[in-house]
Amino acid sequence: MSLTTLDRGSRTYVAGHRGLVGGAILRHLQRLGFTDLVTRTSSELDLRDPVAVEQFFAEQRPATVVVAAAKVGGILANSTYPADFLSDNLRIQVNVMDAAARHGATKLLFLGSSCIYPKFAAQPIREDSLLTGPLEPTNDAYAIAKIAGVLQVQALRRQYGLHYISAMPTNLYGPGDNFHPTGSHVLPGLIRRFDEAARSGAPSVTVWGTGTPRREFLHVDDLARACVHLLEHYDEPEPINIGVGEDLSIREIAELVAEVIGFEGVLEFDTTKPDGTPRKLLDVSRIKALGWEPQIGLREGLTDTYRWYREQLAAGAIRAA
């Protein structure tokens, strides 16, 4: 199959469209003029149920599938419920990709995570560092599930000649993120805590860990653009990284969040809490060579995300502390 512009009229299924990633991809496809977009909420279609997934694909027969559905969470959730993260994600992936292959989906993009790479991988992390060392223990179950998804894409390509691909995004943020006080990732968690502290007049905010680990953050709208770009310009078995190629320490990120929100109190670090992987900077030379570049800077993206968070809070869509 030659790499060409996706047919805006062909049926496209976004699995996980209610989540941060899937929602951004759906919005981007709508902006691009895709006219036959198929979605299902988790209550309408439980992707862990192979019979239901098989019936859905038999009826809908999408030509293009984006697998953005996953059970996700931060360090606390991953380390507390590893069996759930492993089992749910494995079942979602196997059910969706196998059914897509059986029912004629010609293109598929599976989205993994940068946590698939070894804890002490050389920085920046190249795609070929996969499976070269031990994983970060706090999210190894989730990582193993995502690695299985990468290998499933490769197996489907080898066995059936399908043009399925996988991509590994760096840490993501943006409108639609999860701001739960205990189940969120680091950046939305910081936004919530600093906002609550600023509004209550709290003198300090405590951040987990030492503040020294470094993290790279990509706005989810940039990720959405990257996904369509890859579906149109990439057709290889190896996973491909999606990121910005720059990172900051957790301390620097927390200080930036405080500045955007207007919190002027003291920043404290709870060193009894885990740091997680010391650094996760992705090598993004391969995707940049395909002509894609991120467009949204971190300060701009944080301001946009904080505005969305406040709107949702005011509307009652997010529960206040």
Annotated binding-site residue? 171? yes
Secondary structure percentages of the chain, helix, strand, coil, to 5:
45, 15, 40
Q: Which residues are catalytic?
A: 142
Annotated binding-site residue? 42? no
Element (H, E) at 166: strand 163-169
C-alpha span between 81 and 142 (Å, rounded): 10
Annotated binding-site residue? 292? no
C-alpha span between 293 and 243 (Å, rounded): 9
C-alpha span between 251 and 260 (Å, rounded): 14
Annotated binding-site residue? 299? no
Annotated binding-site residue? 22? yes
Annotated binding-site residue? 193? yes
Annotated binding-site residue? 112? yes
What burial class does residue 289 get, using C-beta atoms within 10 Å of its C-beta: 0-12 exposed, 13-18 middle, 19+ buried? exposed
Annotated binding-site residue? 95? no
CB atoms within 10 A of CB 262: 11
Annotated binding-site residue? 111? yes
- Give the residue numbers of the binding site: 16-22, 111-114, 146, 169-172, 185, 193, 208, 215, 275
- Give the residue numbers of the binding site for NADP(+): 16-22, 111-114, 146, 169-172, 185
- Give the residue numbers of the binding site for substrate: 193, 208, 215, 275
